[in-house]
């Protein structure tokens, strides 16, 4: 049984109200919503893929392309924002040359903006490479990305 079939088996066929939970489960399992996953979900729920895409794109949290080898989760919560996260986001966007939800052409990086990650006293906070990067300043970003690049190349 494929991962998608396994997820769908937990839900009632044809129940449109399960769309969002199913999309969440699939994204958690696969890292993104592939075209084939959307087709399977549409067939299971008896919904058109156009309608599913339409609803899914309404939510920022869904991705339609695979994440990079290193995925950065940048805190966009209030305290991190007050502590300068907007400038950190700008530095990351300029260094990587992509917007949130996109993946670099070389497949190394992707990033998203998140709600509070629970480390407000240490903000701005970014979770990447299986650890928290704290008290970030825009000037720290080139070195952080360079170290994460080495990590991505090991994957």
Which strands form 109-114's sheet, in the order they lie side by side? 109-114, 70-75, 126-128, 131-133
Name residues contacting ligand FES, limited to 77-96 (CB under 6 A): 77-80
Nearest CA-CA partner of 67 in 22, 19, 27? 27
As given in the structure block, the two tokens for residue 15 are 């129940």
Binding region for ligand FES (CB under 6 A) out of 13-21, 46-54, 55-63, 75-83:
75-83
26-65 footprint of ligand FES as x/- string (CB under 6 A): ----------------------------------------
Integer angstrom CA distances of residue 68 from 25, 82, 122, 137: 19, 28, 25, 23
In angstroms, the CA 125 to CA 12 distance is: 39
Shortest spacing between CB 78 and ligand FES, in angstroms: 6
In angstroms, the CA 33 to CA 55 distance is: 13
Q: Which is nearer to ligand FES, 80 or 96 (CB)?
A: 80
Asked if residue 75 binds ligand FES (CB under 6 A), the reply is: yes
Find the binder of ligand FES among 123, 126, 128, 144 (CB under 6 A): 123
Contact residues toward ligand FES (CB under 6 A) are 75, 77-80, 116-120, 123, 125
């Amino acid at each position: 049984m494929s991962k998608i079939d396994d997820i769908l088996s937990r839900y009632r066929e044809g129940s449109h109200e399960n769309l969002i939970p199913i999309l969440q489960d699939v994204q958690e399992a696969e890292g993104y919503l592939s075209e084939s996953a959307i087709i399977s979900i549409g067939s299971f729920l008896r919904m058109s893929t156009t309608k599913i895409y339409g609803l899914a794109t309404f939510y920022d949290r869904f991705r339609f392309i695979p994440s990079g080898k290193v995925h950065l989760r940048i805190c966009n919560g209030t305290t991190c924002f007050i502590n300068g996260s907007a400038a950190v986001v700008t530095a990351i966007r300029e260094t990587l040359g992509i917007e949130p939800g996109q993946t670099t052409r070389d497949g190394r990086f992707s990033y998203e903006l998140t709600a509070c990650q629970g480390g407000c006293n240490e903000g701005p906070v970014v979770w990447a490479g299986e650890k928290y990067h704290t008290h970030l300043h825009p000037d720290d970003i080139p070195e952080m990305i360079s170290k994460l690049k080495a990590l991505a190349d090991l994957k």
